[in-house]
Amino acid sequence: MSRGIAHPLRSVSVFGAVIALLLAAMLAAMLWSDHANRMQAAQRQSMALAAGSDRLLRAELSTMERALRGAARDGREYFRQTPEQAPALLAASIHGMLERNPDLATIALVDNAGNPLSGGRGDPTLPQWILPQNRVMDGDLYVGGLEATAEGGRVLLAAVPMQPDQWLLARIRLAVFQRVVSGLDTGRLGVVSIGSRDGHLLAHSLDPAAVERPLPRPLRLPPASEQTLALGVADSPMDGVRRIVALSVPRDYPLFLFAALSYDEVMAPWRTYLYVAIGLFLLYLAGFAYLFHSVRGNARRQARLTDELRAGAAELALAHKVGKVGTWSIEGDGAWVHWSDITRQMFGLELRGASLEAFLGQVCDEDRELLREELARAWNGEEALDMTYRFVLPDGGLRWLSVRGERVDSQRGRRLAGAVVDVSEHLRNQERAQEAERQFRLLFDRNPAPFWIFDVDTLQFLEVNRAAMEQYGYSREEFLAMTILDIRPEEEWSEVKQARDDALDGHGRALAPRVRMHRRKDGSTFEVVGHMAQLEFDGRAACLTLAEDVSQRLAYERDLAYRASHDPDTGLLTVRALAEQLDADGGGYTILHIQLRGLRLVTDTLGREAGEDVLQAMVGRLGALGARHGLTAWQPAEDFVVAVTAGHDPQAALEALLEAASEPVRGRDSFHQLEPRIGVASCPDDGERADQVLGRAAQAAHAAREQGVVVSRFDCRMAARHAERLQLAGRIRRAIDRDEFELHFQPIRHAADGTPAVLEALLRWPQPDGGFIPPSDFIQLCEDTGLIIVLGRWVIQAAARAQRELAAHGWAGLPIAVNVSAVQLFNSDLLGEFVAATEANGLAPGALQMELTESCLMHNPAQAMQVLKSLNARGIAVSLDDFGTGFSSMSYLQHLPLDSLKIDRCFVTDVERNPRNAAICRALLSLGHSMGLVVIAEGVENQAQLDWLVAHGCDQVQGYLLGQPMPLAEVIALLALSCDGA
């Protein structure tokens, strides 16, 4: 017996060792691959950080170079035009630049040796670093070393040439470099730093104070290259931490960027993976040891069983005889079948044996080949014989026989022996039971809807179908051990018992279906409509239940109801749903209508994602405020509505709203200050219905915007003013239809000689009493109602007709400028209207010009650029009006196809004696000329202003000193008079 046990144990040992080696090799390969992948990913990330920081640094250096180069250009102009005043003018220009650019500590004019020429501090080391290798991006900016400040900090020296033997020496604060490396995703111990090639550290993301200390370890820089270098794992020169390093040493500026991710942080997940792999391998070894022990025990038990079987063979033969179980055997070559006397008597056989083929000839045709195959497999020792087949008796009867047998090897040779039992009656009974079972399963178990039967008295499950098991996650055995209470929440058990009582009193009636909450095995709940009917099952009062899952349908209905009452973008109530809820609740309440000016401008200027971030931030603030004081709704565009319901203090809610709306909103990369305008109305003081109160709160908000206040409460005078605006809008529409408007024209003259350059068309609305309604009283109303599009089209056509009349009097070369609003620019075919008016009146290209304000452009800079480019392509000149009073983005302004810009009259006033206005005008003149634009000054009302503008190079002027707005006939007469005088 020991030899029989040793062979399988040896096989198991060899197999287990092979599997252990394979598992170890696979885990090692996976660990090596994961380690390499993490290193590669970290190296790519550090290179991306270095490359991104390089782009940001280039942008900062370019900005600094443009600022200093602009100052140098102004200085050259001052020394060229007014040498005696040049130092003072340059000092004023530098002072203004330092105020606008906090990143510049000082700017001084020095000679080639670094000596100061007009105040300030020089730098004696200047000749040592104004070398070609220190030029930034082949531009005019040269970068030097670090210099300590009196405050204990450090600045970076930089210089740009102004003119021969003169340089502008700037000291740049290191905060500009610290911004480049701040806020980057480097992990807890990752670092990005900037340094100069002479070893000075300019910025450090992990330790900003490091710029004040020398590097404890020297950093050897490779030669400059256009590519970012991957240095692999190295110790950082600042703190010695092992990091995965990337280094950028650009050719075109004398700085370097060092970006590195912590090796320990990158590899922390890999180490966890390593420990898990070791644990898996140890777990396998433990499992294999347990398996080996089990196999050895099983082999010993199998040997004992074999001995017991041999000892009980005789007892088995005796049992067959007593139990009238027939036996049979096949011996020798397997061609003959032998059976016992009991077998022969049971089946009416004449002989004690027969050939195998003769025996198979009495087997039913459908079972013969299968029995032959089973006998062959059993004879070959492949498996034991266990089969039921049909046997034809000598008298023609058909019997079902169950035969079992297995091969036994002995000294006499191979032998197949077994027993046979007549199971005909058993199979007939089983067939009847199976048919009944089949019919039941067809009606119950196979039904796709969840069904079960439960005892009405005990609530115990008696039967359950497959659909219910799949729906609830329990097996049939688990179900049958449970009650109805186990699939219902505990708080609904009383309802279950009441339903049981209803079923007992129902006398067989089907109970009305109701929606109930059920619970699955995993704890999740869902909504069910239970259809129940009373019945008798196995002699017990029971209830048949169909559980219809209606969760999705009810969720869909609730979702539809939610979508009908909530805004999809914000999740807040719609104004209509808010009104319905307020009317349904009844009682008094106060409405706070909030207009947030600037919200749409964020989207138009910075993009949809930035606008969405700001909107969601305000939704979070105002939604929480509404939850504390009542309800919050959203009116798409820029308006929120907070309803302060009964029981809450409206004044406290208003103060909280003012605080929330006035606090700057943080976007992705910047903060945004929105301008709130709040209208207040209450029920029942300002209306009985919610829609009335909401409308009057909105009127109050509009009034707050018009009056320039933050909060406005509704009163009856607002309604009257609103009615007046509506009446005025109707009068404007009739005036357009009746051609009541007219144009007056104000000349714009060349500053040098006073000759006319352009006529600006100004809209006038004459009244029957001989007066005029000022444009300020109706233009804004036209923009609010959309009438400005129709009115603007009339102005363009009238200006074209006026230009045609000018041409008839010999002034074909004098263009007319038309003012255009933001509504026209973004909501009409402006190009088509100008082209149509020009062609209809036979005008030459450039006969009509366009004026628009810079605030108008910034509503949607991208769309404005497209419209202006199309106008420019058709020869229509564009002038930027009121320049300097808006919020222009220079990044857009420098690309707009403009022809001229107009300095607002507020800067021209007192320009000859107000230094601040004079400085602004000089700056605007310099900016316009640097962009190649014609600069026009508005509001020139006295000779001193005109003389100052002429002296400072203003191109064109406009104002009452040079001509007031007048009808076209008077303009033509004035032009003729000026021509005769010339």
Question: From edge to edge, which strands make up the β-sheet containing 242-248?
Answer: 201-204, 191-196, 255-262, 242-248, 229-235
CA 524 to chain centre: 30
| pLDDT for the residue 668 | 67
193 with 207: CB under 8 angstroms? no
User: CA 704 to CA 823: how far, in whole Å?
Assistant: 22
Angle 222-228-234 from CA coordinates, rounded to 5°: 65
Question: Is beta strand 639-645 parallel, antiparallel or unpaired with respect to 630-635?
Answer: antiparallel
238 with 193: CB under 8 angstroms? yes
> Per the structure block, which two tokens stand in for 332?
């020798």
Closest CA to 260 of 231, 285, 289, 284: 231
* DSSP labels, 954-967: --EE-STTT---B-
CA 764 to chain centre: 50
> Per the structure block, which two tokens stand in for 119?
């105040």
Q: Is 814 helix (H, G, I), strand (E, B) or coil?
A: coil
Long-range contacts of 287-291 (CB under 8 A, 24+ apart): 288/16, 288/19, 288/20, 291/12, 291/16
End-to-end C-alpha distance for the chain, whole angstroms: 138
CB-CB neighbours of 822 under 10 Å:
18
360 with 376: CB under 8 angstroms? no
User: CA 924 to CA 880: how far, in whole Å?
Assistant: 12
* Peptide bond just before 684 cis, omega within 30 deg: yes
Looking at this protein, which amino acid is placed at residue 274? Answer: L
Looking at this protein, which amino acid is placed at residue 712? Answer: S
CB-CB neighbours of 93 under 10 Å:
21
Q: Is 915 helix (H, G, I), strand (E, B) or coil?
A: helix
> Strand runs (DSSP E) across 451-550, as ranges?
451-455, 461-464, 511-519, 525-537, 540-549
Which run of H or of E encompasses 450?
none
CB-CB neighbours of 372 under 10 Å:
13
859 Cβ neighbours under 8 A, 6+ residues apart: 600, 601, 604, 822, 825, 826
| pLDDT for the residue 508 | 41
799 with 837: CB under 8 angstroms? yes
- On the CB side of 844, CA atoms within 13 Å amount to 7
Long-range contacts of 427-431 (CB under 8 A, 24+ apart): 427/388, 427/400
Could you give the angle at which helices 787-808 and 830-840 cross, rounded to 10 degrees? 30
User: CA 175 to CA 315: how far, in whole Å?
Assistant: 102
Q: Which residue has the tokens 């497999």?
A: 377
Ramachandran angles phi, psi of 250, nearest 5°: -65, 155
43 with 244: CB under 8 angstroms? yes
DSSP state of 665: E
User: CA 19 to CA 12: how far, in whole Å?
Assistant: 11
Question: Cα separations (Å) of 217 from 220, 238, 246?
Answer: 10, 7, 17
Question: Is beta strand 385-392 parallel, antiparallel or unpaired with respect to 353-355?
Answer: unpaired
* DSSP labels, 211-279: GGS--SS---PPPP-SSPEEEEEEE-TTT--EEEEEEE--SSSSEEEEEEEEHHHHHHHHHHHHHHHHH
User: CA 551 to CA 560: how far, in whole Å?
Assistant: 14
Residues in the chain with pLDDT values less than 70: 1-9, 212-219, 303, 306-324, 347-348, 411, 433-447, 499-500, 502-514, 557, 559, 561, 564-565, 604-605, 637, 667-670, 716-724, 726, 858-859, 884-893, 979-982
pTM of the model: 0.40
463 with 456: CB under 8 angstroms? no
173 Cβ neighbours under 8 A, 6+ residues apart: 102, 103, 104, 105, 153, 155
Q: Is 628 helix (H, G, I), strand (E, B) or coil?
A: helix
CB-CB neighbours of 730 under 10 Å:
11
| pLDDT for the residue 858 | 67
389 with 403: CB under 8 angstroms? yes
Residue spans of alpha helices (H) in 101-149: 126-129
